Amino acid sequence: MPDVSTPAQQPLYTIGKTKAGFLGAFARVPIKKGTIVLCEQPLFVVDAPLQAYLFQRAAGGNGPTPVQGEDEDETEAATLEEFLDRGIRRTLRLKTEEQRERFWELANTHDELPPAFGIFTTNAVSTVEETGGLFLTLSRFNSACRPNLTRPLYDSKARTLSFSALLDIPEGDELTWPYLGVSTPFPLPLIAAPHTKLGGALGPPSAEPPSPNSRQPRLLLLQIPFDFDAIDYRREELSRVFGFDCCCAACRVWQSSPEKKAESNARLLKLRRLKECLLITLGGRQQTMERISRLAEEEQLYEVASRLKAQSEVEPSSQE
């Protein structure tokens, strides 16, 4: 894993137009591998189970206790989505005018939802369990199939979400991270699990660590992302979950070069097969992880490559 430095005093990024015409974040200066690029607190958070409980109580005439401004709503919310929308709007009233403007300028790919809740659903990032946070600056960092930033990590004590550079990033390059979440459980070391965009469906992996005195291997079923999936499947999943067609640099290369797309798909198929080997056998795990790490780096999947490289280095001791 790369060494992560402390956040810089001056922003390392600027917000500007991408080649596709959308807003995105770009490196203002050259950024070294491991540097924390962004560390941000949420504008607000939404605890989904709690809000669903409060909605059920309100619908049953048992509460919740009205809050300031609630009497402005002429009727009770008919749906949970409307209930959440009203809650977000009440929260926004407590924010500054600039914060409210920045919120309403964010993308909304869920026209079927009430506007405020649609913006939240489009941009929210999972923090703890089923709680999602709205991060104004992070929302401007776009997704990429071959990102140069890690997935965000949430610090529950500081209430901050941060991500770091996976490689040295030249000045002017767009700063991207993968929106897609997690899939099949995969044995990896007990390290901080990455968090993902909610997208209305996905949340963070979680697990209870073993006792420090336990003789069990310190392994966590950290779920590997969609990174090994075939190119077209990944694009379809992005469209289904987030409602947009990916136009990242890697996708543009694959669309313009069938040969490069075929080469990438061949590597991804090998990675999926090697991953299955780890799940069904304990023999030769270290060598298999090293092979996956090298192949993942060749495919520019730097986050998975670095995590597997770290695990392969401690694998012999974990099997004692």
This prediction's pTM: 0.77
Among 266, 190, 180, CA closest to 1:
190
- Measured between alpha carbons, how far is 320 from 318 in angstroms, rounded to an integer? 6
The tens digit of pLDDT for each residue in 188-234 reads 332 233 444 544 333 333 333 333 333 332 232 334 556 788 999 99
For residue 138, the one-letter residue type is: L
Residues contacting 28, CB < 8 A, separation 6+:
10, 11, 12, 13, 14, 171
- Measured between alpha carbons, how far is 89 from 148 in angstroms, rounded to an integer? 34
Name the helix (H) or strand (E) containing 185: strand 182-185
Name the helix (H) or strand (E) containing 307: helix 302-318
- Measured between alpha carbons, how far is 39 from 265 in angstroms, rounded to an integer? 34
Separation of first and last alpha carbons in the chain:
23
Q: What is the pLDDT of residue 63?
A: 56
Distances (CA, A) of 296 to 69, 140, 181, 301, 307: 52, 27, 17, 5, 11
Q: Which tokens in the block code for residue 177?
A: 């991270």
CA atoms within 13 A on the CB side of 167: 18
Alpha helices in the chain (DSSP H): 48-59, 80-93, 97-104, 115-123, 231-242, 249-256, 258-280, 285-298, 302-318
Q: What is the pLDDT of residue 35?
A: 96
**Which parts of the chain register pLDDT below 70?**
1-9, 49-50, 52-53, 55, 58-74, 129, 181-226, 281-282, 315-320
CA angle 205, 300, 175 (to 5 degrees): 75
